Amino acid sequence: MTASCLFCRIASGELPAHRLYEDDHILAFLDLHPIRAGHALVIPRAHHVWFEDLPEDLATRIMTCAQRLARRMKAIYEVERVAMFFTGIHVPHAHAHVVPMQHVHDVTSQAYLSAGSDGYALPPQLPAAEMEEIARQLRRG
Ligand SMILES: [Zn+2]
């Protein structure tokens, strides 16, 4: 735990939250600034900044909790899909967002908005050689 970390303080109980689930390893609670009603965050109790640095078992616990929440959200909000993502933008303590999607652009990228907020535009494809080079870099160790 770090004393200045907002999510460590929530995990320890120092700060309140609308808790949805908790065990010895993880905690789920409502986002204070929801994209949609039900927007939840799932965090490890231990302080890790980036999701890619989470131990595999902890990452699995977060994903399993998000899956449970997603099934519940689908039943409650009658949505076709629930988004789950990590951005690492606001609080430097890894947190998965779980959002019931009422609209196709609820959690979208600007890259998909060139047809407007009610459309859904595919970004242009990259040349094959560039794609192969990108794939080659990402396959490396
Ligand atoms: Zn923290």
Q: What is the pLDDT along the chain (141 residues), one digit of tens a residue?
A: 678 999 999 999 999 999 999 999 999 999 999 999 999 999 999 999 999 999 999 999 999 999 999 999 999 999 999 999 999 998 999 999 999 999 999 999 899 998 888 888 999 999 999 999 999 999 986
Ligand 1 centroid to residue 92 C-alpha, Å: 7
Buried/exposed 64-99: b ≥16 CB within 10 Å, e otherwise: ebbeebbebbeeeeebeebbbebeeeeebbbbbbbb
pLDDT given for residue 61 in this prediction: 98
For the chain, the domains span: 6-107, 112-141
Q: Is 93 known to be catalytic?
A: no
> What residues are neighbours of ligand 1 (ion), with CB under 5 Å?
5, 7-8, 47, 93
Task: Tell me which CATH homologous superfamily contains domain 6-107.
Answer: HIT-like (3.30.428.10)
